[in-house]
Amino acid sequence: MTQGPNEGLTQATFEQGNASIVTDPLGMVAIANAKGRKFLDRIGLEIGQSLCSTLCPALLGIAGGKRCLDCPAITDQPKSNELIIGGDIFQVNSSPIIEPSKQKPTYVNHTVFDITEQAREKRKKELLKEALSVFNRSRSSREVLVRILETAEKFAPYKIASILELDGAYGQTNTVLIQRKSSLKGSYGKKHSPIITARELNIAKSPLIKQIIAEGKSIIFNSDEHPDYLTNLPGTKNMHWRLVTPIISEGKVIAIFILDSDKKDSPFTEKCTADLQPFSLIAGDALRRERENENNAFTDKLTGLYNRTYMSDRLDQEIQKVRRQKIPLAVIMADIDHFKRFNDTHGHLAGDEVLRKLGEFIKRTLRRSDIACRFGGEELLFIFPKTTTDEVKKIALKLQKKLISLTINYQGDTTLPPITLSMGIVTFSENMKNQDDLLKVADKALYSAKHHGRNQIRIFEKGRFMKV
């Protein structure tokens, strides 16, 4: 038999370290230990007030007004329920008290346990399992990233969340892959669909980006105190706090996870960054997998350069940017000189080795923002976004000069003859309608270089083809 509330029950439960609250048959609070009184203070109740009217509708779904001892959750068997208060989670175990002098229950003991951390860990495992399920069944990183941003809100309440790719599969850098506005009540009033963008940001020199890449660690900072940190990120103009977590794949930071809050006091803690870490790993794997798939679909297997399908898509994208942003765009069409004669003399396997080594050389020599493609056979096309006529001339001359030192060994002991390139340069102009017009002029510039002796660079400038 359990002692009644006036016979040591409160002291016993207090010694167990839990909050204990005892109610009379009508559900009124009779007594409580020290921790129980603190819990009552938190929910705004005092001794003599009804505990059932506060707890039961939320815990058990039973309307207030019933006798506490008539509650099915008490009479059938001792019951355990969860209650959420201010973001913390409590487990309430309710059981009848039978006094020694009586044969039936006269009071109910409610023991309260703070299970916030256990519940968070359990929920995190469930959400992690869901995210892994999405990762396993989805081929696109978009669905995975959407789920991760939805999940992040449960651990770190934000106003807007962004995932920023630092080195995209298409050669773009600093691209906002996805954004999501908060769905919490009071933030925007209703749920919002993710915003998928292709906006590029000029933030490569940001001290924040440098720190994240160098350290590979999460940081939390006050945006008002660091106005130079990613000020051009869409939708974050009036934010006050920011949490930034690196997304790492194979030991390299490939993207960053950014949460912004407009609260004056930071809602982000070190616990938030720890909770988000496993989800950032899933995001990294999703992005890496998509990059690999895209590389397989858009990469020429022999040269390692982009193939013609990718070239056509990317050229359309860059031409659209030229029209939208009024920025320069240049291309070089190149051809390996006397390549047919080379194949006839040394064999097609040796010719394949030349294409492989030339592809490696080009990727080493061009800038990271440049796009090198195999146009067909021994013809190549290089795309130079945001590059002026003078700049592309210097790049072509540099390529020509460095190519002289390229040595190609074949089958171990055979050094193949040096190779040279003929190159035709053209910049996109307003009178060009599309990429076909651009490529036609580039092809004519290349023909002019070959016609004038090969190993030459010719550019279409001022209405005619001129030697560089």
Q: Which one is predicted more confidently, 406 or 54?
A: 406
Whether the CA torsion 28, 31, 36, 40 is positive or negative: it is positive
Q: Which of 114, 146, 177 is the last residue of a domain?
A: 114
Residue 364: C-alpha distances to residues 305, 361, 372 (Å): 11, 5, 11
CATH number where 72 lies: 3.30.450.20
- Note whether 234 and 148 are same-domain residues: yes
Question: pLDDT category, 227, cuts 50, 70, 90?
Answer: low
pLDDT of 334 > 90? The answer is yes
Average pLDDT, the chain: 80
Print burial letters for 397-420: b (CB count within 10 Å at least 16), e (below 16): eebbeebeeeebebeeeeebeebb
CATH number for the domain harbouring residue 322: 3.30.70.270
pLDDT score of 296 more than 90: no
pLDDT exceeds cutoff 80 at 444? yes
- Say if residue 81 is in the same domain as residue 171: no
Residues 332 and 391 placed together within one structural domain of the fold: yes
10 Å Cβ neighbour count for 200? 15
Residue of higher predicted confidence among 76 and 67: 67
Higher-confidence position of 235 and 21: 21
Tens of pLDDT, residue by residue over 72-105, are 555 445 556 677 776 678 888 877 776 666 666 6
Is 249 in the same domain as 284? yes
Residue 368 has pLDDT above 70, yes or no: yes
Put simply, whether the predicted model's pTM sits higher than 0.85 gets the answer: no
pLDDT for 363: 92
Q: What integer pLDDT is reported at residue 78 of this predicted model? A: 52
- Flag whether pLDDT at 379 surpasses 70: yes
Q: What is the CATH number of the domain that holds 225?
A: 3.30.450.40
Q: Which of 257, 277, 296 is the last residue of a domain?
A: 296
Domain boundary among 296, 324, 352: 296
Is the per-residue pLDDT at 57 higher than 70?
no
Does residue 78 sit in the same domain as residue 133? Answer: no
% of the chain at pLDDT higher than 90: 27
Cβ atoms of 180 and 151 within 8 Å: the answer is no
Q: In this structure, are 368 and 315 located in the same domain?
A: yes
- Do 110 and 127 belong together in one domain? no
Q: What is the CA radius of gyration of the chain?
A: 34
**CA distances from residue 166 to 29, 209, 243, 257 in whole angstroms, order as listed:** 59, 9, 17, 11
The predicted pLDDT at position 288 comes to 86
Question: How many whole angstroms separate alpha carbon 366 and alpha carbon 330?
Answer: 14
Give tens-digit pLDDT for 144-199. 888 888 888 887 888 888 888 775 433 334 566 777 777 644 333 334 444 444 45
346 and 213 fall within a common domain = no
Q: Give me the number of domains the chain comprises.
A: 3
Tell me what the mean pLDDT of segment 287-313 comes to.
Answer: 88
Using CA atoms, how far apart are residues 468 and 464, in angstroms rounded to an integer? 12
Range of the domain at 259: 119-296
65, 86: one domain:
yes
Please tell me whether residues 82 and 206 are part of one structural domain. no
In this structure, are 64 and 13 located in the same domain?
Answer: yes
Question: Which pLDDT belongs to residue 50?
Answer: 76
Check whether residue 385 and residue 309 sit in a common domain. yes
27 pLDDT higher than 80: no
